[in-house]
């Protein structure tokens, strides 16, 4: 059963074999390394670029304009900030030309905390990405979703952000969540598609026969049904929300957990339907809390569902501090963790109107 980086690799293989992807590129993306997180090992169209994020985004736009489907990686989203105006430019090609041009491109970048990455390898990008109109934005929390969302990105005629939660890259799929065609045995899959350590110039992957699986943008997934409150999350915090909900069921609190998966377009219908049933809503993500995407969802909840709420809706997000400190205690205090999520669900469930 694959982990998320292996799922990404398999999706990119399918993308270059069957969906016309001509370039998968960025810093250390090509051989010998195949990506800082190994997500691009063994791919025939992967190549190394100069250490130049503006150049990477610019080349991605140019390739897109020339009709070349491409996946450009920013090695860590922390390094995408010097390319913000180029990212904005990509998002306005179709609009500014009044519909004459389009620009197929996928910007793939690891996001978030969880690897003790300190100040410059822990940033989130969801608040920034959702603030750039013109992009479709995916953020998976399982290997299968990563596979299906990435394939949706590469065939889309518009610019897409594919945000990869670093903390979940090595997490394996749950039983029943495997990608069709992948070997069930971890070691067998590793032998097929993981590059050997050390010398690997002669190595070639053997790709399992995996299908075209497109998870559409704007379709959230209900991870766990529940009657008492609605928890909406994505990325690293999603599995923590699911675990917290599981634990709280012992206290007879039944939380419904929704994995948003796609931040733009996003599945408002599913959120609204759930909140109408439960009357309580908690939004959880780890980007800094001021001008946070969860705030947008919370605003719509208040504006559109106010009279159906039993308790004030709540956002649990990252502290509004410039970075995530390296020490374990600092990282734990900066972004939502299992205890703070559990407590947020519990306290919201217990508010009496």
Partner 1 sequence: MSTSLRPVLSPPETELSPELLRKLHELMVKGRLLEERLMQMYRQGDGYFWIGGPGEEAFNVPLGLLIEKGRGPQYDYCHFHYRQSATLLAMGADPIDSLRMMKNTATDPYTGGRNFSGHYSIREWNVVPISSPIEVQYAMAPGTAIAQKRIAGGRGITIVTGGDAGTAEGDFASCLIWSSRPANPLPVLILVTNNKWGISTHWQGQHGEKRISDRGKAFGIESKTIDGNDPEICYRELRGAMEYVRSERRPFLMEAIVSRLYGHSSASGANRVNDEADCLQGFEHRLEERGLLTRAQIEELRARFAAELQEAHRKVRQEPMPEGRTIFDHVFSDRDLVRERP
Which residues of this chain interact with partner 1, rule CB under 8 A? 20, 22-23, 47-50, 52, 54-55, 57-69, 85-86, 89, 92-104, 133-134, 136, 157-158
Using a 10 angstrom Cβ sphere, with 0-12 exposed, 13-18 middle and 19 or more buried, the burial of residue 66 is exposed
- Taking the C-alpha atoms of residue 90 and residue 333, their distance in angstroms, rounded to an integer, is 36
Which of 107, 111, 129 lies closest to 293, judged by CA? Answer: 129
The strand pairing partners of 46, in sequence order, are 24
Biggest alpha carbon–alpha carbon distance for the chain? 67
Check: CB of residue 182 under 8 Å from CB of residue 189.
yes
Residue with tokens 């995916």: 138
> Cβ 39 to partner 1, closest distance in Å?
21
Q: What is the DSSP string of 282-296?
A: EEEEEEESTT-HHHH
Give the residue with the Cβ less far from partner 1, 47 or 120.
47
Give the residue with the Cβ less far from partner 1, 20 or 323.
20
Check: CB of residue 353 under 8 Å from CB of residue 147.
no
β-pairing, 69-73 vs 262-264, is: unpaired
> Cβ 58 to partner 1, closest distance in Å?
3
- Taking the C-alpha atoms of residue 236 and residue 165, their distance in angstroms, rounded to an integer, is 6
Give the residue with the Cβ less far from partner 1, 109 or 237.
109
Residue with tokens 């796609």: 262
> Cβ 184 to partner 1, closest distance in Å?
36
User: Is residue 53 annotated as a catalytic residue, yes or no?
Assistant: yes
175 contact partners, CB below 8 Å, separation of at least 6: 1
Give the residue with the Cβ less far from partner 1, 134 or 239.
134
Check: CB of residue 232 under 8 Å from CB of residue 162.
no
Give the residue with the Cβ less far from partner 1, 23 or 194.
23
Which one of the listed residues 16, 53, 73, 331 is annotated catalytic?
Answer: 53
Paired tokens of 38? 């190994």
> Cβ 22 to partner 1, closest distance in Å?
8
Taking the CB of residue 108, how many other CB atoms lie within 10 A of it? 27
Check: CB of residue 73 under 8 Å from CB of residue 108.
yes
Which one of the listed residues 13, 73, 121, 286 is annotated catalytic?
Answer: 121
> Cβ 104 to partner 1, closest distance in Å?
6
- Taking the C-alpha atoms of residue 46 and residue 41, their distance in angstroms, rounded to an integer, is 8
- Taking the C-alpha atoms of residue 330 and residue 283, their distance in angstroms, rounded to an integer, is 22
Measured on CA atoms in the order 80, 86, 87, 90, is the torsion positive or negative?
negative
Give the residue with the Cβ less far from partner 1, 218 or 325.
218
Give the residue with the Cβ less far from partner 1, 92 or 115.
92
> Cβ 218 to partner 1, closest distance in Å?
11
Active-site positions read 53, 121
């Amino acid at each position: 059963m694959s982990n998320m980086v292996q799922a990404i690799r398999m999706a990119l293989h399918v993308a270059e074999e069957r969906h016309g992807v001509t370039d998968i590129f960025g810093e250390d993306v090509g051989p010998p390394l195949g990506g800082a997180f190994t997500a691009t090992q063994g791919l025939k169209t992967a190549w190394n670029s100069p250490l130049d994020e503006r150049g990477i985004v610019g080349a991605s736009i140019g390739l897109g304009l020339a009709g070349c489907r491409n996946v450009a990686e920013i090695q860590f989203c922390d390094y995408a900030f010097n390319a913000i105006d180029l990212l904005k430019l990509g998002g306005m090609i179709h609009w500014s030309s009044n519909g004459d041009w389009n620009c197929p491109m996928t910007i793939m970048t690891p996001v978030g905390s969880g690897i003790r990455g300190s100040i410059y390898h822990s940033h989130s990008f969801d608040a920034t990405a959702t603030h750039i109109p013109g992009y479709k934005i995916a953020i998976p929390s399982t290997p299968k979703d990563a596979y299906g969302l990435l394939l949706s990105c590469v065939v889309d005629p518009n610019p897409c952000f594919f945000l990869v939660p670093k903390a979940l890259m090595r997490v394996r799929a749950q039983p029943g969540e495997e990608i069709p065609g992948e070997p069930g045995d971890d070691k067998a899959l590793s032998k097929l598609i993981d590059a050997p350590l050390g010398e690997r110039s002669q190595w070639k992957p053997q790709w399992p026969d995996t299908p075209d699986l497109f998870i559409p943008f704007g379709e959230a997934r209900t991870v766990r049904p529940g009657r008492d409150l609605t928890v909406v999350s994505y990325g690293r915090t999603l599995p923590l929300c699911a675990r917290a909900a599981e634990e709280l069921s012992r206290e007879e609190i039944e939380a419904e957990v929704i994995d948003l998966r796609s931040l733009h377009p996003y599945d408002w219908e599913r959120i609204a339907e759930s909140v109408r049933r439960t009357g309580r809503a908690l939004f959880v993500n780890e980007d800094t809390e001021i001008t946070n995407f969860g705030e947008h969802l919370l605003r719509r909840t208040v504006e559109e569902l106010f009279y159906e709420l039993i308790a004030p809706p709540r956002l649990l997000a990252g502290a509004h501090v410039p970075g995530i400190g390296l020490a374990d205690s600092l990282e734990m205090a900066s972004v939502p963790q299992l205890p703070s999520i559990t407590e947020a669900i519990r306290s919201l469930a217990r508010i009496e109107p």
